[in-house]
């Protein structure tokens, strides 16, 4: 079965997010282990990770567009996207509730920020995984 452009796009987004943000979290954990708690120190690392992700996304989508002409998303693509987003959104909710709980308990801002980032990261990964599962299942 030949993958649609939308499915290829989900693969590109999943791989780019996992690789670039895994690199960010690798550096961030090392910084935290060395006692860095100023959020400004993490901003530059995060900016580099986001720029790297943009480069990977653009390059991946250019290659995918050359290999297979993109088409407008159809009803199936929209349904898959909606279902995947719906299934993954609870992860952000848990992250936000955890962050709010941390704020109530006066946890340092650096930890609150990273809880929110991890929840966004995991939610996005789950969304792309759900999309790929739905494309493969034919849903």
Stretches where the chain sits below pLDDT 50 are none
What interhelical angle do 5-33 and 75-104 show, nearest 10? Answer: 20
**In Å, how far are 18, 44, 88, 99, 123 from 15, measured between CA atoms?**
5, 22, 17, 27, 14
Output the pLDDT for position 74: 83
Output the pLDDT for position 139: 64
CA torsion 27→29→34→37, rounded to 10°? 100
């Amino acid at each position: 079965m030949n993958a649609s452009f939308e499915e290829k796009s989900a693969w590109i987004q999943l791989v780019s997010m996992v690789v670039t943000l895994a690199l960010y979290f690798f550096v961030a954990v090392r910084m935290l282990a060395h006692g860095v708690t100023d959020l400004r120190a993490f901003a530059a690392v995060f900016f580099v990770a986001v720029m790297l992700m943009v480069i990977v996304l653009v390059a991946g989508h250019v290659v995918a567009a050359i290999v297979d002409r993109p088409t407008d998303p159809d009803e199936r693509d929209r349904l898959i996207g909606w279902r995947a987003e719906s299934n993954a959104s609870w992860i952000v909710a848990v992250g936000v509730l955890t962050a709010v709980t941390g704020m109530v308990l006066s946890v340092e801002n650096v930890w609150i920020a990273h809880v929110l980032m991890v929840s966004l990261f995991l939610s996005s990964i789950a969304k792309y995984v759900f999309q790929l599962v739905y494309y493969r299942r034919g849903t």
